[in-house]
Amino acid sequence: MNSARIGVAGANGAFGSKHLDALSQIENVQVVAAMATTLEKANAVADKYSIPYRFDSYDEMLELAELDAVILATPTQIHAEQGLKAMTAGKHVLIEIPMADTLADSEALVEKQKQTGLVAMAGHVRRFNPSHQWIHNQILAGELSIQQMDIQTYFFRRTNMNAKGEPRSWTDHLLWHHACHSIDLFRYQTGEDVTEVHAIQGPVHPDLGIAMDMAILMKTGSGKLCTLSLSFNNHGPLGSYFRYICDKGTYIASYDDLFDGHNNQIDVSGVDVSLNGIELINREFVSAILEDREPNSSLQQCLPAMKVMHEIERKMTP
């Protein structure tokens, strides 16, 4: 196989567009299919990116012979079903975070990947952001050891809108979506499993049916700590901020940017071939398909984070 032929489900959404922009920068890729909830939306996206096949049915897209792999930028609640269908159809799959919203469904996805041998990834893009890669490389080289991570994930989302300011057909979730990034990153950067976790949440929104504020504390076997604060009530700068308190310095990462503890920016331009984390995770997906290997951020690698979230949910459920 000289190139990977990819279809994007949820192509018209906020993250579908980000994936299509990223794929346009990658060699050895053909985006052959765009799927959306209506054919009108699929056609609009496909026309913009010159994609030959357009679908308003996910099942019909999977029947396309000229398709090797799919990227799922679809609602969380159908990730597991669509991921299982993709692998059953013999398609490699990259599932936007989270891979599922229950541990049982996550385990089913991992089992299906083992049965098929296909490339199956979860969209844990923090592993690929150059800022976090820089920290990871320092850890692997023995230059840094994390003592504590303090993470703030803040949005203002009191109505059901997506990142493009458009109404969502599904409801976002602080734990199963946003905390998922950070729990996996904490495990990935420390190289250790979470052995102790505590969590509390604020009141449930009367219309959205989800907690709008949440606090999570985690500890590894060697005593590394993580404090994670999440809110959909934040009036102010939006996004996630990661403070790495290490044995040799403090570092603050915000998406693809990195600063030291005194707010001096660190040049991460040489860490990888791009400064765009979405492009880098897509590059890993394509490379793993073409090289027939397990990717970084495989479903198997990310399953422990799902187990931690399952434990958090269990503790917070009345």
Residue-wise pLDDT for 119-147, tens only, equals: 999 999 999 999 999 999 999 999 999 99
For residues 136 and 263, state if they share a domain. Answer: yes
CATH of the domain at 106: 3.40.50.720
Determine how β-strand 225-231 pairs with β-strand 213-220: antiparallel
**Mean pLDDT value across residues 162-167:** 58
pLDDT of residue 174: 82
pLDDT digits (tens, 9 = 90+) for 78-112: 999 999 999 999 999 999 999 999 999 999 999 99
One domain for residues 192 and 210:
yes
Q: What is the pLDDT of residue 164?
A: 57
1-35 as b/e, with b when 16 or more CB fall inside 10 Å?
A: eeebbbbbbbbbbebbbbbbebbeebeebebbbbb
Contacts of residue 47, defined as CB under 8 A and 6 or more positions apart, other chains included, come to none
Do residues 8 and 22 touch, judged by C-beta distance below 8 A? no
Q: Does residue 119 sit in the same domain as residue 134?
A: no
Predicted pLDDT at 161: 59
- Containing structural domain, residue 58: 4-123+277-287
Q: What is the mean pLDDT of residues 291-302?
A: 98
> How many domains is the chain partitioned into structurally?
2
With cut-offs at 50, 70 and 90, classify the pLDDT of residue 317: confident
Average pLDDT score over residue span 288-300: 98
> How large is the C-alpha radius of gyration of the chain?
19
Q: Tell me what pLDDT residue 138 has.
A: 98
135/252 same-domain check: yes
Q: Are residues 107 and 60 in the same domain?
A: yes
pLDDT over threshold 90, residue 171: no
CA nearest 271: which of 138, 83, 107, 115?
Answer: 138
Give 1's contacts (C-beta < 8 A, 6+ positions apart): 68, 289, 290
What CATH number does the domain containing 235 carry? 3.30.360.10
Question: Do 115 and 19 have their domain in common?
Answer: yes
pLDDT above 90: residue 285: yes
What is the percentage of the chain residues whose pLDDT exceeds 90?
83
Is there a contact between 11 and 73 (Cβ–Cβ < 8 Å)?
A: yes
**Considering the domain boundaries, does residue 144 fall inside one?**
yes
CB 70 within 8 A of CB 19: no
Q: Indicate whether 97 and 212 sit together in one domain.
A: no
Strand partners, 225: 148, 219
Give the pLDDT band (50/70/90) at residue 292. very high
**Share above pLDDT 70 across residues of the chain, in percent, rounded to a whole number:** 95
